[in-house]
A and B are shown apart, each in its own frame.
Chain A
Amino acid sequence: MNQEHPSPARKGWRLGLALIGFLAIAAFFLLSEHRAHALGILPFVLLLLCPLLHLFGHGGHDHESGKGDRP
C-alpha cells in the first residue's frame, strides 16, 4: 500500500480537482432539488461519482498509510 506516493504538488492538484468535483455535485443537488427526482438516473450517477472522486483526490490507495493523532 505504501510504495507509491504522489508528489505533494500532484497530490494538491488532485485534491483540488476532487474538491471542485464535489462542490459541483453538491451545487447540483442543492439547486435542482425539487426537480431532481424527475431526472431519473442522473442523481444516482452523481452519487456514484463521489466515492470515485474520493479515491481520485487521495491518490488511489495510499490514503490509509498516514498515521497521526490530530483529526
Chain B
Amino acid sequence: MNASPPAYGLWPLVIINSLVFIIFAFSFTKPRTARDWRSFGAFSAFIVALFTEMYGFPLTIYLLAGWLQSRYPGVDFFSHDAGHLLEVLFGWRANPHFGPFHLLSFAFIGGGFILLSNAWRVLYAAQRSHTLATTGPYARIRHPQYAGFVLIMIGFLLQWPTLVTLLMFPVLVSMYVRLARREEREVAGEFGDEYARYAANTPAFFPRLGGDRSQRTNASE
C-alpha cells in the first residue's frame, strides 16, 4: 500500500490487542476455580505470544527469514502484510486481510467467541439453580467452553501462524482435554446417573453432524 510505517516494535498495540482478547475471553468464561484459571491463563499466554509476534518482535520471521527470502525473493517479510504467512505461502497477492485464510480465521474466531458466550449463558443459569447444564451448546457437546477456546486458537493460527503459537497449540489442547476429563469426574460425582445419561448421549468435543443424538453411541473422541 503506501510508504510503510514500521511494522514491528509496536508494543502499545501488543498490549491493547492482548487485553482486548483476554478481557473478551474473561467476560464469557468468568474463571472461578483453580481449573478455570488454568484454562483461562493458558489461553491468555497464547494470545500474548501471538500479538507479541504480530506487532512486537517477529521471532518466526527472523528464524525463517533465510528460507523465506530464498523462496519468495520479492516479498518484504518485515512488513505487516507478509506476516500473514499462509496468504504469502499460497500465493495470495492482494491485501492479505481479505485473503482466504484471514476470512476463514474470522469465522473460527467469531464462532469460538459466540460459542463461549452461548455456553456461558446456559452454564450461568445452571450454576445458579444447581442443575446440570444440558441445553444450548451443551445439548450438542459436553465441553463447549474448551471447544470455543480451541476454535479461537485455530483461527489465530490460520490468520497469523508463528512457531511459538504452533508449538503451544498441541500443549494447550491436551491440557484442555485433561481438564475436561477431570471436570467430568467431578460433575459425575455431583450429578451421578443424570450425568451418566447425558454423557452417553452427548459427545465431548465434536458435535454429531445431523444425526439423531440418541441413536449413535458416543464416538466423539
**Taking beta carbons and an 8 Å cutoff, which residues of A are in contact with B?**
8, 11-12, 15-16, 18-19, 22-23, 25-27, 29-31, 33-34, 36-38, 43-44, 46-47, 50-51, 53-54, 57-58, 63, 66-71
Contacts and interface: CB of A to CB of B under 8 A. Distances in A.
Contact of A50 (B19, B32, B124): B19
| Shortest beta-carbon contacts, A-B, top 9 | A68-B127, A34-B80, A71-B36, A50-B23, A54-B27, A19-B117, A22-B24, A66-B127, A43-B16
Contact of A15 (B26, B33, B117, B186): B117
A67 B128 CA distance: 6
Contacts, number: 102
Interface residues of B, number: 50
Contacts of A51: 23
Interface of B: 5, 7, 10, 12-13, 16-17, 19-21, 23-24, 26-33, 35-36, 39, 54-55, 80-81, 97, 106, 109-110, 113-114, 117, 120-121, 123-128, 130, 133, 145, 159, 183, 186-187, 190
